[in-house]
């Protein structure tokens, strides 16, 4: 997030696109609702009329995967009616002309045709965004989990640049991260192209820095593989050993059949986890790990805030802290690492090596955490980025992007579009919530379908239906709801039986390799 | 501006209430219905104080501080007024403090104690509502409700859910869902904010039952293990057991709020299913192994593969749920020891 949760309550306007905040980030949504009570405006763009949509001043029910067409059409109106922040665009941004030329290809009529939102509504949204400023743009995986995910993200940034909604409180582009520490895992360099602190592995100077710090002769100089590539490489044996730490890939990745084929092809699979999972079934070695509450460390939240996590109990049996396990493997492979606890690793390594984290030390985050960038120990942390329109590369850059349809669209045989996500009462593959009593509130998966489709297919509430895609089929109860438009099915991936991932399509954004969880084609029938 | 409280001259700012100034200066004024951050209702009147020049006692939570005000928080008249309120509340209260979940952390109990109110002072009519045990998270015992309406206000004004409101009138006034159904049949989202707000034993955590008294627990601050909001939790612990979880009041970012997962989704750490020993696959099933054996096996296999096929034949994914320090160590293992950048995590989900 460029901005912070603390700014929600004072925001004047929100544009929420592809975020089911009341279920996926409930506490964030309470601050948004508080702002609405004080008169803030809300525009919601989402294929589903989810709870946030019901609170919106304007709700745009776009078709699945039409985000860029919608946003480009919106920006077309904003540019053509001269509603954009000319000062910001001229003085703080680059590449406006090329961007404008692209936007001109998306008159609102074309945007309306692709997105299903009518021209008047598109204009109304443009006018509201132009009159009430700044607006906070919030998104979640509804933007990223598409084959055009990266372009979707750029499109949201284009809009905020155009409106000058950057570099001030209660503005910005705000992706709400789904898991407690996705932000942190990225910051730590658990990515194939960057060291901790986003220092590129292809940069010789960065490599030299880390070679010195880690006391090794030569660090690898090419970007590594991303997760889907690793898994495909298990099949052709290019990858012979696969080390899976805490992920239940057999349930979370698209097309379970394909994933399980890949996992079962591994010559040597190491799983490090707190529970046996569907993934550990394929392991050759399982290493039992300490969980939350059993180790001292930090999580970094969506708002770049490094928060303390504390140990209050010992791990069960012989389970060990994860950092210890990695350290022990390193030792057996010839390297002795000095740090011997979470706090030592952070204070003596992470915050020394990642410039944006330089000022964050355990002694400073006993109470509230600190938000990076925080370059030195006198720095108070940063609640919003790009202050006064100063960007990392000097200016904000417009990126012209084109709309493309999802990889698989409905047809005669598979006439519904399936979109997926999380529900309030469960979390991921239920390894945690399923063992905490939350099944009481959500005991099984459902296929959410519209009233119109239910009537047409003669499906009654709670009746069992079969949902089929080119990859698999599941049998679940139907949940008939006004949240879902005709022609759409919505499901989550919390329950193994009935998981949407038996159906989802393993196609990816070419740059980020994010899978298209939000769109594939399915058929629905009564059983 | 300056105001005088119990003889001490205190600095006050525009917009502060008498209660704000008193608390900022270390004076004790009890409250029941007051909720920081929300407009005060002045309904319970337990926070009354005496203000020079005013005939009636003043509810400090809703009285703005004004220049030159002279306030007393502890006169006999103030205490008598408070005592009367507490006597009324106690007169219709079940007084089963011995077995009540809230004992030791109950505002009514504390007030009765400090004001010397005993059960016998007044005998009033008691309620006879069935206790709602129908869900695994929140026990609702409206026999103990003092109608401060904090729960209703946090549900509506903080969480924005509007699951509960008051129904009926007079003695029969009661907090309930729209059709007085159990919570799970209403639009309640089980955030438990109402439980955290309740000053008495009317709303309590069901999982906490019997696990520990308030004075036996220690409180440890930590971060929620679920979504990316990063809510700050207070674990109430007896030994290694989490008795209950509340939100850190005023902590960033959640300012005392939680959702169902953060508040109630913690027992998984105690699950019988936890992995407790390294396991090695042998003839199609797993057998227990020592750490030495398991780690040697992993290290040797990695060395062998590096020698035969190069370091890029090894790949790994880190965990977006675990602490930063773990992800740091794993990428260091891959880059510095194995010699590959084949390290990733589910950044995209
Ligand atoms: S649990 Fe939350 S939603 Fe339910 S009644 Fe209490 S405050 Fe309202
Ligand atoms: S309490 Fe709820 S909203 Fe807060 S971090 Fe946990 S899961 Fe997210």
Ligand 1 centroid to B188 CA: how many Å? 5
Report CA(A310)–ligand 2 centroid distance (Å).
Answer: 17
B333 lines ligand 1 (CB under 6 A): no
CB hemisphere CA count around B183 (13 angstroms): 26
Torsion B239-B240-B246-B250 (CA) sign? positive
Neighbour count for residue A393 (Cβ, 10 Å): 7
B189 close to ligand 1 (CB < 6 Angstrom): yes
Does residue A406 lie in a domain region? no
Task: Determine contact: A306 vs chain B, CB below 8 A.
Answer: yes
Angle at the Cα of B139 from the Cα atoms of B137 and B141, rounded to 5 degrees = 165
Domain-located, residue A410 = no
What tokens appear for A336 in the block? 């002795």
Same domain as A134, residue A83: yes
Q: Is residue A507 part of a domain?
A: yes
pLDDT of A471:
93
User: Is residue A241 within 8 Å of A268, Cβ to Cβ?
Assistant: yes
Identify whether B253 is preceded by a cis peptide bond (ω within 30 of 0). Answer: yes
Spatial separation of the C-alpha atoms in residues A189 and A386, rounded to whole Å: 23
Question: Which of A8-17, A222-231, B39-48, B213-222 is predicted with the least confidence, judged by mean pLDDT?
Answer: B39-48
**What pLDDT was estimated at residue A428?**
82
Cβ atoms of residues A423 and B189 within 8 Å: no
CB within 8 Å: A299 and B348? no
Residue B262 is predicted with a pLDDT of: 96
Distance CA A115, CA A135 (A): 22
How many of the other CB atoms lie within 10 Å of CB of B227? Answer: 28
For residues A12 and A133, the answer to whether their CB atoms sit within 8 Å is yes
Q: Are the beta carbons of B274 and A319 separated by less than 8 Å?
A: yes
Alpha-carbon gap, residue B131 to B289, rounded angstroms:
50
Q: What is the pLDDT of residues B288-305, one digit of tens each?
A: 999 999 999 999 999 999
Do residue A250 and residue A331 come from a single domain?
yes
Q: Are A282 and A250 in contact (CB under 8 A)?
A: yes
Would you say the CB of residue B194 lies under 6 angstroms from ligand 1? yes
pTM for the predicted model, two decimal places = 0.94
Residues A185, A174: Cα–Cα separation, whole Å: 18
Q: State the CB neighbour count (10 A cutoff) for residue A444.
A: 11
- A166 and A205 belong to one structural domain: no
3 state SS of A230: helix
Domain containing residue A248: 182-376
Q: Give the gap in angstroms from C-alpha A270 to the nearest C-alpha of chain B.
A: 8
Give the CATH architecture of domain B132-209.
2-Layer Sandwich (3.30)
Q: Is the CB of B190 under 6 A from ligand 1?
A: yes
Q: How many other C-beta atoms lie within 10 A of the C-beta of residue A445?
A: 23
Count CB neighbours of B2 within 10 A.
Answer: 12
Contacts of A335 in chain B (CB under 8 A): 336-337
Contact B305 A33 (CB under 8 A): no
Residue B137 structure tokens: 């998270």
The pLDDT-based confidence of B122 (bands split at 50, 70, 90) is low
Residue A495 included in any domain: yes
- Is pLDDT larger for residue B328 or for residue A437? B328
Cβ partners under 8 Å of residue A258, min gap 6 = A471, A506
Q: Round to whole Å and give the CA distance between A127 and A74.
A: 10
- State both tokens at A524: 């629905």
Q: What is the DSSP secondary structure assignment for residue B170, as one 8-state letter?
A: G
Residue A384 lies in a domain: no
The answer to whether the CB of A148 falls within 8 A of the CB of A404 is yes
For residues A156 and A186, state if they share a domain. Answer: no
Least confidently predicted of A443-447, B98-102, B174-178, B188-192: A443-447
Q: Taking a C-beta distance cutoff of 8 angstroms, is the pair A437, A506 a contact?
A: no
**What tens digit of pLDDT does each residue of B163-180 get?**
999 998 888 889 999 999
How many CB atoms neighbour CB A213 within 10 A?
Answer: 15
Which residues, at least 6 apart from A9, have a Cβ–Cβ distance to it below 8 Å? Answer: A31, A34, A35, A38
Residue A46 sits in a domain whose CATH number is 3.40.228.10
Instruction: Write down the pLDDT at residue A439.
Output: 85
Which-ligand-closest: CA of A426? 2
Minimum-distance ligand to the CA of A441? 1
Domain count, chain A: 3
pLDDT on residue A61: 96
With beta carbons under 8 A apart, name residues in chain A contacting B338.
333
Could you tell me if A146 and A10 lie in one domain?
yes
SS3 category, B16:
coil
- Domain ranges in chain B are 2-87, 132-209, 211-274, 279-348
Would you state the pLDDT for residue A511?
A: 85
Pick left, alpha or beta for residue A386 (phi over 0 → left; psi -120 to 50 → alpha; otherwise beta).
left
Q: Which of A5, A140, A188, A219 to mutate to test the interface with B (most CBs of B within 10 A)?
A: A188
Shared domain for A221 and A363, answered yes or no, is yes
pLDDT at B124 exceeding the cut of 80: no
In this predicted structure, the answer to whether residue B123 has a pLDDT above a threshold of 80 is no
Cα separation, B268 vs B329, whole angstroms: 25
Residue from the list A193, A287, A314 with its beta carbon closest to the beta carbon of B294: A287
pLDDT at res. A393 = 74
Q: Where does the pLDDT of residue B248 fall: very low under 50, low under 70, confident under 90, or very high at 90 and above?
A: very high
CA B120 to chain A, closest CA, distance in angstroms equals 42
d(C-alpha B241, C-alpha B244), whole Å: 9
Distances, alpha carbon A35 to alpha carbons A8, A13, A402, B182, in Å: 7, 9, 34, 30
Does A146 share its domain with A265?
no
- The SS3 of residue A435 is helix
What are the backbone angles phi and psi of residue B329, rounded to the nearest 5°?
A: -60, -40
Closest residue on chain A to B278 (Cα): A287
Same domain, A231 and A360: yes
Residue of A nearest to B254 (CA): A27
pLDDT of amino acid B325: 97
pLDDT for the residue B144: 94
Query: Is B307 in contact with A351 (CB distance < 8 Å)?
Result: no
* pLDDT score, position B349: 55
Quote the tokens at residue A94.
């680059």
Domain B211-274 part of CATH 2.20.25.90: yes
pLDDT computed for residue A233 by the predictor: 96
Closest CA to A167 of A91, A239, A53: A91
Domain end residue (candidates: A176, A193, A224): A176
* pLDDT given for residue A510 in this prediction: 86
- ipTM of the complex model: 0.94
Residue A227, in any domain of the structure: yes
Predicted pLDDT of residue B121:
63
Residue after which a domain boundary falls, among A176, A191, A218: A176
CATH of the domain at A440: 2.40.40.20
How would you label B47-63 residue by residue, b for 16+ Cβ within 10 Å and e otherwise? bbbbbeeeeebbbbbbb
Tell me the β-bridge partners of B86. Answer: none
Does B218 score more than 70 pLDDT?
A: yes
Measure the N-to-C terminal CA separation of chain A; round to a whole number of Å.
Answer: 44
Q: Spelled out in words, what is the top-level CATH class assigned to the domain B2-87?
A: alpha beta
- Are A187 and A169 members of one domain? no
| Cβ contact A369–B230 (<8 Å) | yes
Residue B259 Cα to ligand 2 midpoint, Å, equals: 6
Ligand 1 pocket residue status of B177, Cβ below 6 Å: no
Q: How much is the pLDDT for A313?
A: 97
- Strand-pair category, A41-45 with A13-17: parallel
* Spans of chain A below 50 pLDDT: none
Q: Ligand 1 pocket test: pick from B183, B195, B247, B259 the residue with the most ligand atoms within 8 Å of its Cβ.
A: B183
Q: Are residues A467 and A519 in the same domain?
A: yes
Same domain assignment for residues A205 and A348: yes
Q: Would you say residue A11 lies in a domain?
A: yes
Interchain contact, B281 vs A284, CB within 8 Å: yes
**Cα(B334)–Cα(B316) distance, integer angstroms:** 8
Domain check: are A336 and A484 in the same one? no
Residues of B in contact with A182 (CB under 8 A): 228, 320, 345-347
Question: DSSP readout, A98-165?
Answer: HHHHHHTT--HHHHHHHH---HHHHHHHHHHHHHS---EEEE-HHHHSSTTHHHHHHHHHHHHHHTT-
Question: DSSP letters of B69-130?
Answer: -EEESS-HHHHHHHHHHHHHHHHTS---TTT-TTTTS-HHHHHHHHHT--TTS-------PP
What is the best residue among B223, B226, B266 to mutate for testing ligand 2's pocket, by most ligand atoms within 8 Å of CB? Answer: B226
Asked if residue A478 belongs to a domain, the reply is yes
């Amino acid at each position: 997030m460029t901005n912070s949760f603390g700014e929600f309550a004072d925001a004047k306007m929100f544009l929420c696109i592809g975020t089911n905040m009341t279920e996926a980030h409930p506490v964030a949504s309470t601050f948004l609702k508080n702002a609405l009570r004080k008169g803030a405006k809300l525009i919601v763009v989402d294929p589903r009329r989810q709870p946030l949509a019901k609170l919106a001043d304007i709700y745009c029910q776009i078709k699945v995967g039409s985000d860029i067409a919608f946003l480009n059409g919106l920006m077309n109106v904003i540019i053509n009616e001269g509603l954009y922040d000319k000062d910001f665009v001229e003085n703080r941004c680059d590449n406006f002309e090329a961007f404008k030329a692209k936007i001109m290809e998306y008159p609102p009529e074309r945007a309306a045709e692709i997105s299903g939102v009518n021209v008047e509504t598109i204009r109304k949204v443009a006018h509201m965004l132009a009159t009430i400023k700044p607006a906070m743009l919030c998104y979640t995986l509804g933007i990223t989990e598409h084959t055009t995910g990266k372009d979707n993200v750029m499109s949201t940034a284009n809009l905020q640049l155009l409106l000058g909604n950057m570099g001030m409180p209660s503005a910005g582009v705000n992706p709400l991260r789904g898991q407690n520490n996705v932000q942190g895992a990225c910051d730590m360099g658990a990515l194939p192209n960057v060291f901790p602190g986003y220092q590129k592995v292809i940069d010789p100077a960065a490599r030299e820095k880390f070679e010195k710090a880690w006391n090794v002769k030569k660090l690898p100089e090419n970007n590594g593989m991303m997760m889907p590539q690793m898994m495909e490489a298990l099949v052709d044996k290019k990858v012979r050993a696969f080390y899976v730490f805490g992920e239940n890939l057999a349930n979370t990745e698209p097309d379970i059949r394909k994933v399980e084929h890949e996992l079962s092809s591994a010559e040597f699979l190491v799983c490090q986890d707190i529970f046996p999972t569907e993934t550990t079934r394929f392991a050759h070695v399982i290493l039992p790990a300490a969980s939350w509450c059993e180790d001292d460390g930090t999580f970094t939240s969506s708002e770049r805030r490094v928060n303390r996590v504390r140990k209050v109990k010992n791990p069960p049996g012989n389970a060990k802290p994860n950092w210890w396990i990695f350290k022990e493997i390193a030792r057996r492979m010839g390297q002795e690492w000095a740090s011997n606890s979470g706090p030592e690793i952070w204070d003596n390594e992470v915050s020394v090596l990642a410039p944006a984290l330089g000022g964050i030390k355990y002694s400073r985050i006993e109470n509230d955490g600190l938000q990076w960038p925080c370059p030195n120990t006198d720095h108070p942390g940063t609640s919003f980025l790009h202050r006064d329109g100063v960007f990392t590369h000097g200016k904000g850059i417009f990126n012209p992007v084109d709309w493309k349809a999802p990889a698989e669209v409905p047809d005669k045989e598979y006439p519904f579009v399936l979109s997926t996500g999380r529900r309030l009462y469960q979390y991921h593959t239920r390894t945690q919530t399923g063992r905490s009593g939350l099944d009481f509130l959500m005991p099984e998966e459902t296929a959410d379908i519209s009233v119109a489709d239910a009537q047409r297919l003669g499906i009654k509430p709670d009746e069992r239906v079969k949902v089929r895609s080119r990859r698999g089929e599941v049998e679940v109860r139907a949940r008939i709801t006004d949240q879902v438009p005709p022609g759409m099915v919505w499901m989550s991936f919390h329950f193994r039986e009935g998981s949407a991932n038996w159906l989802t399509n393993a196609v990816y954004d070419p740059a980020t390799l994010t899978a298209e969880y939000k769109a594939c084609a399915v058929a629905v029938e009564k059983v | 501006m300056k105001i005088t409280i119990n003889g001490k001259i205190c600095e006050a700012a525009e917009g502060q209430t008498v209660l704000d100034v008193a608390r900022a200066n270390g004076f004790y004024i009890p409250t029941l219905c007051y909720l920081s951050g929300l407009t005060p209702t002045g309904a319970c009147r337990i926070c009354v104080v005496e203000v020079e020049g005013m005939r009636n006692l003043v509810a400090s939570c809703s009285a703005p501080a004004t220049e030159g005000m002279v306030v007393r928080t502890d006169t006999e008249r103030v205490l008598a007024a408070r005592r009367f309120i507490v006597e009324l509340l106690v007169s219709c209260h079940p007084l089963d403090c011995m077995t009540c979940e809230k004992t030791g952390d109950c505002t009514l109990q504390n007030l009765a104690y400090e004001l010397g109110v005993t059960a016998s002072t007044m005998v009033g009519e008691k309620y006879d509502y069935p206790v709602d045990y129908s869900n695994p998270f929140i026990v609702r015992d409206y026999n103990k409700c003092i109608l401060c309406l904090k729960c209703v206000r946090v549900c509506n004004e903080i969480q924005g859910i509007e699951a509960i409101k008051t129904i009926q009138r007079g003695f029969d006034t009661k907090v309930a869902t729209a059709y007085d159904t159990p919570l799970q049949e209403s639009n309640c989202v089980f955030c438990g904010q109402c439980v955290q707000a309740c000053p008495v034993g009317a709303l309590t955590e069901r999982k906490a039952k019997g696990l520990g008294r308030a004075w036996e627990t220690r409180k440890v601050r930590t971060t929620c293990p679920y979504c990316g909001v990063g809510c700050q939790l207070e674990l109430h612990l007896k030994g290694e057991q989490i008795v209950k979880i509340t939100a850190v009041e005023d902590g960033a970012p959640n300012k005392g709020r939680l959702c169902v997962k953060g508040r109630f989704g913690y027992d998984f750490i105690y699950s019988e299913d936890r992995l407790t020993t390294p396991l090695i696959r042998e003839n199609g099933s797993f057998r227990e192994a020592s750490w030495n054996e398991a780690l040697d096996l992993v290290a040797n296999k990695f060395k062998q593969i590096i020698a035969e096929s190069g370091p890029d034949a090894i790949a790994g994914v880190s965990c977006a749920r675990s602490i930063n320090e773990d992800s740091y160590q794993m990428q260091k293992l891959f880059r510095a020891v194995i010699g590959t950048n084949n390290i990733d995590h589910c950044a995209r989900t």
